[in-house]
Amino acid sequence: MLYEQGEDGASLAFLERWMSDYPREGMMHCHLSWHVAMAALAIGDYERAWSVYQAQVHPGASWGPPINTLTDSAAFLWRAELAGAPRRADHWRELGRYADERFAAPGLAFVDTHLALTRAATGGDVAGLVAVLRQRDAEGKSPAGGVVEHLAEGFAAFERVDDEAAITALTAALPQTVRIGGSRAQRDLAVNTLLAVYLRTGRHADARALIAQREDRQPAVPVAGWAALATPA
């Protein structure tokens, strides 16, 4: 609830209190740690966010299930960059190896979305993944429909700075992102990436219109450049 209300400082304080005696071996420790890192990013405490990622989220540190380790790690690394952090290629390479070992074949929309993200960031085969996903969709094996393909294409286009293609793909995906599963905090990955494209291309009216649709979290969008645009002159 605190996330949806844009109360990231309160969310961080609550989670840190609650997790103070939550066992590291607990199944949700990795994912809750990801929420801590996301809240820290949102309030600009990048040192805290990276500390949590390195200690509790990335492969080798996470005690969570592989699905959480992959999706939380990919989402953190990508969103840290959206917030203005420099790329840490070593972390992406580590995650790419982990993804190849644990999720060689697509099949779960939420995982596939983050697999596409990892491949985009590491120069992996996003096109091949999209082709497999489209074939599964054509065979009626994809409950999420084509939304993952659009997201994958959008992330790949963002990475290669093909802004028009990124806008087209991400705009097509947004109305259907609920179909990939996950929480609002996780699905906002797509919104924040599209916002970053708008800011990168100087489309400020489009950026404002996009965030105006998020009535509850308008003040708290951890994307570099948004705070200056959102603050009245």
Encoded amino acid at 18, one letter = W
Structure tokens at 131: 């082709």
Q: Rounded mean pLDDT of 94-108?
A: 93
pLDDT at 126: 97
d(CA 129, CA 117): 11
Q: Specify the range with the lowest mean pLDDT, choosing from 65-69, 106-110, 214-218.
A: 214-218
Structure tokens at 138: 């054509």
d(CA 29, CA 198): 34
Query: Taking Cα atoms as reference points, which of 52, 211, 188, 59 lies closest to residue 113?
Result: 188
Name the band, by pLDDT with cuts 50, 70 and 90, for residue 93.
very high
Q: Specify the range with the lowest mean pLDDT, choosing from 50-64, 94-108, 212-226.
A: 212-226
pLDDT at 20: 87
Encoded amino acid at 81, one letter = E
d(CA 166, CA 155): 7
pLDDT at 12: 86
pLDDT at 121: 98
pLDDT at 221: 85
The answer to whether residues 24 and 65 touch, using CB atoms and an 8 Å cutoff, is no
The residue with greater pLDDT, 134 or 24, is 134
The answer to whether residues 70 and 30 touch, using CB atoms and an 8 Å cutoff, is no
Q: Specify the range with the lowest mean pLDDT, choosing from 24-28, 192-196, 224-228.
A: 24-28
pLDDT at 5: 66
pLDDT at 218: 53
The answer to whether residues 36 and 52 touch, using CB atoms and an 8 Å cutoff, is yes
pLDDT tens-digit series, residues 139-169: 988 889 899 999 999 999 999 999 999 999 9
